[in-house]
A and B are shown apart, each in its own frame.
Chain A
C-alpha cells in the first residue's frame, strides 16, 4: 500500500497545552509506519522553535529538542509560515535550526495535497 501524505500543523504556543507534544507523538508513530510526513509551524506555533527555552521547570516536553533528530526518522519536510516570524519580531538566528518557509498560498497547496491533516 502506498504511504499516505500526512500534514501535521502546530499552531498553538508551547507550555499551555499538551496538544503540540501529542502532534509530535503522532508524527513519530506515523514515521515508524513509513508514512510520508510534512511538519508545519504556523502562527504561535513558531514559538516552539525559539532556542532560548528552558522547559525543565514546566514539567512539559519541549518540541524544539526533538526537531534536529527528526531527520533520523526520515522526516525532512519541516516548514514554518513565512509571515509568522516577522509578525512576532523573531529573527531566524533565534531559532533552534533554520527552516524553509511557506507562504499562505503554498500552505493552501500543501494542505490540498495531503491525505490527512492534523492541525493542533
Chain B
C-alpha cells in the first residue's frame, strides 16, 4: 500500500506515466496523490484525457491537492477519477498508506 506522490505536469516529466506503468504491472491497493504542477493533469484536454482513462482503468484513488488547484486558478469541478484533499487530508493519507513514494 503505497501513496505515490507526483509533483510534475505530465507535459514536462515522465513521472506520472512511469508511476502508472508500475501500477498497471501489478494489482495493488495503492493510490496516487498529485501536488504542485501535477495538478495540471485535471485539465480536460486531449493528452490528459487519455491518462484519465488509464487512471479509471486502474480503479485506484487519485487525490488532488486542493490548494494547488486554487492557486493556479484551475477548476475544482473534477473528472470522476479524481478526489480533492486539503493539506490535513494529505497528512492523513501519508499515514493511511504504508509509505510515501515520490515521482519527480
Residue of A nearest to B29 (CB): A112
Chain B nearest CB from A47 CB (Å) reads 14
Is A105's beta carbon under 8 Å from chain B? yes
Is A116's beta carbon under 8 Å from chain B? yes
Residues of A within 8 A of B24 (CB): 104
Residue of B nearest to A108 (CB): B26
Q: A43-B14, A120-B104 are in contact. Are A115 and B22 (CB under 8 A)?
A: no
Give the A-B pair count, Cβ closer than 8 A: 41
Chain A nearest CB from B77 CB (Å) reads 31
Q: Interface residue count for B (Cβ, 8 Å)?
A: 16
Residues of B within 8 A of A112 (CB): 1-2, 28
Bitwise, A21-35 to B at CB < 8 A (1) or not (0) is 000000000000000
Is A119's beta carbon under 8 Å from chain B? yes
Q: Is the CB of A115 within 8 A of B99?
A: yes
Residues of B within 8 A of A103 (CB): 25
Range, interface on chain A: 10 to 19
Residues of B within 8 A of A48 (CB): none
Chain B nearest CB from A102 CB (Å) reads 10
Is B76's beta carbon under 8 Å from chain A? no
Is A114's beta carbon under 8 Å from chain B? yes
Q: Is the CB of A108 within 8 A of B23?
A: yes
Q: Is the CB of A114 within 8 A of B22?
A: no
Residues of B within 8 A of A101 (CB): none
Q: Is the CB of A107 within 8 A of B2?
A: no
Complex: A117 Cα to B104 Cα, angstroms:
13
Complex: A14 Cα to B24 Cα, angstroms:
27
Residues of A within 8 A of B26 (CB): 104-105, 108-109
- For the complex with contacts A104-B21, A111-B101, 13 further pairs of A-B residues with Cβ separation under 8 Å are A11-B14, A11-B18, A105-B25, A108-B23, A108-B26, A108-B28, A111-B22, A114-B99, A116-B99, A117-B99, A117-B101, A118-B102, A119-B103
Chain A contacts to B: CB under 8 angstroms: 11, 19, 42-43, 103-105, 107-109, 111-112, 114-120
Chain B contacts to A: CB under 8 angstroms: 1-2, 14, 18, 21-26, 28, 99, 101-104
